[in-house]
Amino acid sequence: MDMTHYMELLATNQPWNLLIFMAVPVILAETIAVSELYILFTRDLKGTIRLVNKGAGILAGWYFLMVFFYLFFKAVIPITAAGEWRTVIDVIAVGFYLLGVVPLFGISLLEMGLIGKHKGENWHLKTHATFVAIFLIVAHIAMIFGMLNPSLLSATTPMHPM
């Protein structure tokens, strides 16, 4: 079975690529998401969970920004220049994975007070939760398309029934 560049990246150099490109970002994002729910339900804006949420938010954004630049220059540009994309499925998987930088880095900027500094706490909570939701959506689209066989949309590869 053919695989997307997304899955190939995770499968290569085991276990390091899986840890670097999937486990660390997902653990940080899930920490943010779970602590976000706690904060939204309890409105505990000063406790330990809020500090964990803030720390994970700052770390996740900066970490994923480094991942984004690394993969953009080491994978996206060379794959594009060589014309090696494996159908639109591959482009969607990689593109949505990298798109995760927008909400994650947005959370970092929000936590560092670089955006929305003079907005109220409700605006901050809503914006933070929106960034979390956007990340979950783009990450799941990347995972779903990443697990597809890219030849599903290839006119040259015949479909074989299971």
Q: What is the pLDDT of residue 160?
A: 46
Q: What is the pLDDT of residue 14?
A: 92
* Residue 125 pLDDT exceeds 50: yes
Rounded distance, CA 85 to CA 131, Å?
29
Domain extents in the chain: 5-153
Going by C-alpha positions, the residue among 74, 53, 62, 56 that lies closest to residue 9 is 74
pTM: 0.89
